[in-house]
Chain A
Amino acid sequence: MGKLWLICIASISILLPFLCNAFSPETPTDRRVLVLLDDFAIMSSHSLYFNALKSRGFDLEFKLADDPKIALQRYGQYLYDALILFCPSVERFGGSIDVAAIVNFVDSGHDLIVAADVNASDLIREVGTECGVDFDEDPSAMVIDHIGYAVSGTEGDHTLIASDDFIKSDVILGGKKIEAPILFRGIGHAVSPANSLVLKVLSASPSAYSANPKSKLSTPPPLTGSAISLVSIVQARNNARLLITGSLSMFSNRFFRSGVQKAGSQIKHEKSGNEQFLTEISKWIFHERGHLKAVNVKHHRVGETDEPALYRINDELEYAVEIYEWSGTSWEPYVANDVQLQFYMMSPYVLKTLSSDKKGLYSTSFKVPDVYGVFQFKVEHQKLGYTSLSLSKQIPVRPYRHNEYERFIPAAYPYYGAAFSMMAGFFIFSFAHLYSK
Chain B
Amino acid sequence: MARRLAGFLVLLLVVSICEAAFLFQPISDSHRSTALELFTPDHGSFKSLEETYEALRTFQILGIEKKPDLTATACRSISETVGSSSSTAKDLFYALKANSIAECKIDKKASKGIISRLKAAVSGASSLLDFYYSVGGLVLIKDQSSEADVHLADAEGVFRSVKAFSQSDGRWRYSSNNPESSAFAAGIALETHAGIVSLASSEIDQSLISTLKNDIIKLFDSIEKYDDGALYFDDKLVDGHEYQGPVSTTSSVLRGLTAFAAVTAENLNLPGDKILGLAKFFLGIGVPGDAKDFFNQIDSLACLESNRVSIPLILSFPSTVLSLTRKDSLKVGVSTVLGSEVPSLTVKLVGAFSSGSKDASLVESQELNFDKTSGLHILNDLPKSIDVGSYTFVFEIVLHEPKHEEVYFKGSQTKVPISVTGLIKIENSEIAVLDSDLGSIESQKKLDLAGKNAISLSANHLQKLRLSFQLTTPRGRSFKPHQAFLKLRHESKVEHIFVVGNSGKQFEIVLNFLGLVEKFFYLSGKYDMELTVGDAAMENSLLVAIGHIELDLPEAPEKAPRPPPQPIDPYSRYGPKAEITHIFRAPEKRPPQELSLAFLGLTILPLLGFLIGLLRLGVNLKNFPTKPLPATFAVLFHVGIGAVLLLYVFFWVKLDLFQTLKILGFLGGILVFVGHRILSHLAAASAKLKSA
Q: Give the chain A neighbours of B30 by CB distance below 8 A.
A: 257
Known interface pairs A46-B289, A146-B538, A350-B580; A220-B498 also in contact (CB < 8 Å): yes
Main secondary structure of the interface of A (DSSP, over half): mixed
State the CA gap A117–B247 with chains docked (Å): 24
State the CA gap A64–B243 with chains docked (Å): 14
State the CA gap A112–B246 with chains docked (Å): 30
Q: Cβ of B289 and Cβ of A44 under 8 Å apart?
A: yes
Q: Which of A98-106, A124-132, A412-420 contacts B (4 or more CB under 8 A)?
A: A412-420
The listed residue (B578, B580, B623) touching A434 by CB distance below 8 A is B623
Flag whether B320 is at the interface (Cβ < 8 A): yes
Q: Cβ of A437 and Cβ of B623 under 8 Å apart?
A: yes
Q: How far is the CB of B376 from chain A (nearest CB, A)?
A: 13
The listed residue (A45, A117, A220, A350) touching B289 by CB distance below 8 A is A45
Flag whether A428 is at the interface (Cβ < 8 A): yes
Interface residues of A in 215-243 (CB under 8 A from B): 216-221, 224-225, 227
Flag whether A316 is at the interface (Cβ < 8 A): no
**Most B C-beta atoms less than 10 A away, residue of A219, A342, A366, A410:** A410
Q: Cβ of B648 and Cβ of A423 under 8 Å apart?
A: yes
Flag whether A373 is at the interface (Cβ < 8 A): no
Q: How far is the CB of B117 from chain A (nearest CB, A)?
A: 36
State the CA gap A395–B661 with chains docked (Å): 38
State the CA gap A117–B6 with chains docked (Å): 13
The listed residue (A88, A193, A219) touching B499 by CB distance below 8 A is A219
State the CA gap A427–B14 with chains docked (Å): 112
Q: Give the chain B neighbours of A41 by CB distance below 8 A.
A: 7-8, 11, 245-247, 285
Q: Cβ of B622 and Cβ of A435 under 8 Å apart?
A: yes
Interface residues of B in 244-281 (CB under 8 A from A): 245-247
Q: Give the chain A neighbours of B574 by CB distance below 8 A.
A: 382-384
Q: Give the chain A neighbours of B601 by CB distance below 8 A.
A: 417
The listed residue (A158, A314, A417) touching B536 by CB distance below 8 A is A158
What 0/1 readout, one digit per residue, does chain A (62-86) give for beta carbons within 8 Å of chain B? 0010100000000000000000000
Q: Give the chain A neighbours of B622 by CB distance below 8 A.
A: 435-437
Q: Give the chain A neighbours of B497 by CB distance below 8 A.
A: 220-221, 224
Q: Cβ of B565 and Cβ of A431 under 8 Å apart?
A: no
Flag whether A37 is at the interface (Cβ < 8 A): yes
Q: Give the chain B neighbours of A428 by CB distance below 8 A.
A: 610-611, 614
Q: Cβ of B288 and Cβ of A217 under 8 Å apart?
A: no
State the CA gap A43–B623 with chains docked (Å): 125
Q: Give the chain A neighbours of B580 by CB distance below 8 A.
A: 342, 348-352
Quick one: closest B residue to A386, CB to CB?
B574
State the CA gap A211–B143 with chains docked (Å): 60
The listed residue (A45, A159, A426, A430) touching B15 by CB distance below 8 A is A45
Flag whether A365 is at the interface (Cβ < 8 A): no
Quick one: closest B residue to A51, CB to CB?
B289
Q: Cβ of A154 and Cβ of B321 under 8 Å apart?
A: yes
Quick one: closest A residue to B418, CB to CB?
A156
Q: Give the chain B neighbours of A216 by CB distance below 8 A.
A: 480, 482
State the CA gap A428–B607 with chains docked (Å): 10
Q: How far is the CB of A54 from chain B (nearest CB, A)?
A: 12
Flag whether A252 is at the interface (Cβ < 8 A): yes
Flag whether A4 is at the interface (Cβ < 8 A): no
Q: Cβ of A370 and Cβ of B584 under 8 Å apart?
A: yes
State the CA gap A350–B8 with chains docked (Å): 61
Main secondary structure of the interface of B (DSSP, over half): mixed
Flag whether A285 is at the interface (Cβ < 8 A): no
Q: Give the chain A neighbours of B482 by CB distance below 8 A.
A: 144, 146, 211, 213, 216-217
Q: Give the chain A neighbours of B532 by CB distance below 8 A.
A: 207, 209
The listed residue (B7, B319, B487) touching A89 by CB distance below 8 A is B7
Flag whether B312 is at the interface (Cβ < 8 A): no
Q: How far is the CB of B235 from chain A (nearest CB, A)?
A: 13
Flag whether A47 is at the interface (Cβ < 8 A): yes
Q: How far is the CB of B361 from chain A (nearest CB, A)?
A: 20
State the CA gap A186–B570 with chains docked (Å): 25
The listed residue (A88, A351, A417, A429) touching B600 by CB distance below 8 A is A417
Flag whether B372 is at the interface (Cβ < 8 A): no
The listed residue (B290, B320, B421) touching A43 by CB distance below 8 A is B290
Known interface pairs A147-B543, A224-B485, A413-B599; A89-B11 also in contact (CB < 8 Å): no
Q: Cβ of B607 and Cβ of A425 under 8 Å apart?
A: yes
Q: Cβ of A42 and Cβ of B7 under 8 Å apart?
A: yes
Q: Cβ of A436 and Cβ of B390 under 8 Å apart?
A: no
State the CA gap A43–B4 with chains docked (Å): 13
Flag whether B662 is at the interface (Cβ < 8 A): no
What 0/1 readout, one digit per residue, does chain B (553-581) give for beta carbons within 8 Å of chain A? 00000000000111110110111111111
Quick one: closest B residue to A156, CB to CB?
B419
Flag whether B582 is at the interface (Cβ < 8 A): yes
Interface residues of A in 389-437 (CB under 8 A from B): 403, 409-414, 416-432, 434-437
State the CA gap A224–B246 with chains docked (Å): 40
Q: Give the chain B neighbours of A249 by CB distance below 8 A.
A: 14
State the CA gap A249–B571 with chains docked (Å): 29
Q: Give the chain B neighbours of A44 by CB distance below 8 A.
A: 247, 288-290, 293
**Most B C-beta atoms less than 10 A away, residue of A44, A249, A348, A416:** A44
Q: Cβ of A214 and Cβ of B567 under 8 Å apart?
A: no
Q: Cβ of A156 and Cβ of B321 under 8 Å apart?
A: yes
Q: Cβ of A153 and Cβ of B499 under 8 Å apart?
A: no
Q: How far is the CB of B9 from chain A (nearest CB, A)?
A: 9
Q: Cβ of B10 and Cβ of A350 under 8 Å apart?
A: no
Q: Give the chain A neighbours of B247 by CB distance below 8 A.
A: 41, 44
Q: Give the chain A neighbours of B485 by CB distance below 8 A.
A: 209, 220, 224
Band of interface residues on A: 35 or more
Flag whether A369 is at the interface (Cβ < 8 A): yes
Q: Which of B81-89, B103-111, B637-645 contacts A (4 or more CB under 8 A)?
A: B637-645
State the CA gap A216–B23 with chains docked (Å): 25
Flag whether B603 is at the interface (Cβ < 8 A): yes
What 0/1 readout, one digit per residue, does chain B (636-670) give for beta carbons within 8 Å of chain A? 00100110010011001000100000000000000
The listed residue (A88, A152, A206) touching B321 by CB distance below 8 A is A152
Quick one: closest B residue to A342, CB to CB?
B580
State the CA gap A91–B575 with chains docked (Å): 42
Known interface pairs A156-B320, A156-B419, A220-B485; A37-B570 also in contact (CB < 8 Å): no
Q: How far is the CB of A153 from chain B (nearest CB, A)?
A: 4
Flag whether B504 is at the interface (Cβ < 8 A): no
Q: Cβ of B570 and Cβ of A384 under 8 Å apart?
A: yes
Q: Cβ of B15 and Cβ of A435 under 8 Å apart?
A: no
Flag whether B61 is at the interface (Cβ < 8 A): no
Known interface pairs A154-B320, A157-B419, A427-B642; A193-B565 also in contact (CB < 8 Å): yes
Q: Cβ of A338 and Cβ of B607 under 8 Å apart?
A: no
The listed residue (B3, B541, B599, B602) touching A207 by CB distance below 8 A is B541
Q: Give the chain A neighbours of B593 by CB distance below 8 A.
A: 410
Q: Give the chain B neighbours of A40 by CB distance below 8 A.
A: 245
Q: Cβ of A427 and Cβ of B607 under 8 Å apart?
A: no
Q: Give the chain A neighbours of B584 by CB distance below 8 A.
A: 314, 367, 369-370
Q: How far is the CB of A290 from chain B (nearest CB, A)?
A: 12
Flag whether A358 is at the interface (Cβ < 8 A): no
State the CA gap A362–B17 with chains docked (Å): 55
Flag whether B483 is at the interface (Cβ < 8 A): yes
Quick one: closest A residue to B598, CB to CB?
A414
Q: Give the chain B neighbours of A157 by CB distance below 8 A.
A: 18, 390, 419, 536
Q: How far is the CB of B522 from chain A (nearest CB, A)?
A: 20
**Most A C-beta atoms less than 10 A away, residue of B320, B421, B541:** B541
Beyond known contacts A41-B8, A89-B3, A435-B634: 9 more, CB 8 A cutoff: A44-B290, A118-B13, A209-B483, A224-B497, A225-B487, A352-B579, A414-B599, A414-B602, A416-B600
What residues make up the interface of A, taking CB atoms closer than 8 Å to B?
37-48, 51, 64, 66, 87-90, 117-118, 144-147, 152-159, 167-168, 191, 193-194, 196, 199-200, 206-207, 209, 211, 213-214, 216-221, 224-225, 227, 248-249, 252-254, 257, 314, 338, 340, 342-343, 348-353, 366-367, 369-371, 382-384, 403, 409-414, 416-432, 434-437
A-B contacts, 9 of them at CB < 8 A, read A44-B290, A45-B285, A146-B534, A153-B318, A154-B317, A154-B320, A158-B536, A191-B567, A428-B611
